[in-house]
Amino acid sequence: MTAGQSLPSRGTILEGSRTEGATVGPLVVVMGVSGSGKSTVGALVAERLGVVFVDGDALHPAANVAKMASGIPLTDADREPWLDAVGLTLAEAAADGLVLACSALKRVYRDRIRSHAPATLFAELDGTEQELAARMVRPGHFMPPSLLASQLATLQPLQDDEPGLRLSIAETPDALAATIADRARAEFR
């Protein structure tokens, strides 16, 4: 999201988005650009749901991590094996449930993940460029702030027909986690 654009209201639910083929455990991807708080919020959601949390960054091939650390944006071809690993990780956890942090910036990326795990619920964390840039300077974050503009240009927000919700990062991580966990419980009864 760029400066001047309005944020979605807190907890915007994308209608027509019930997950299909819901299984016993909730499958949730907390998505958004770098600096949106995916890992922090995802871990809190997993704790609330009593399921495992996986940071999708850990599933990137070493070559992808090296490119990003060097300030080189990934291509779609670079992302394909990573997206497959994300989808397969979700699919393997379908019986117990899983929360996974993953940028999932484009619709085609989310579709690729859903090709492995169709019942996945996506929770998009959305913020202004200024909010996001301020968060990216924290220690230990391997994505340099210089790549934020590239990610924002690539981002295709969740569409009305996708299973998920969009939330503003202006809310606290605990509030975001509560909203996402409540939605996941409703989806995966």
Total-model pTM: 0.82
Q: What pLDDT sits at residue 162?
A: 94
Query: What stretches of the chain show up as alpha helix (H) in DSSP?
Result: 38-49, 62-69, 76-92, 107-116, 129-136, 148-154, 173-187
Q: What pLDDT sits at residue 142?
A: 55
* CA dihedral for 13, 181, 176, 125, sign (positive or negative): negative
Q: What pLDDT sits at residue 19?
A: 46
Report how far residue 123's alpha carbon sits from residue 112's, in angstroms, rounded to the nearest whole number: 16
Q: What pLDDT sits at residue 140?
A: 59
Q: What pLDDT sits at residue 43?
A: 98
Instruction: Give the list of residues 6+ apart from residue 57 with CB closer than 8 angstroms, or none.
Output: 39, 65, 101, 142
Contact 136, 35 (CB under 8 A): yes
| Structural domains in the chain plus CATH codes | 15-187 (3.40.50.300)
Q: What pLDDT sits at residue 27?
A: 97
pLDDT per residue of the chain (189 residues) written in tens, 0 to 9: 333 333 333 343 333 333 444 446 999 999 999 889 999 999 999 999 999 999 998 999 999 989 988 878 789 999 999 999 999 999 999 999 999 999 999 999 999 999 999 999 999 999 988 888 777 666 655 566 677 888 899 999 999 999 999 999 999 999 999 999 999 999 987
CA distances from 109 to 9, 49, 57, 144, 152 (A): 24, 25, 15, 22, 15
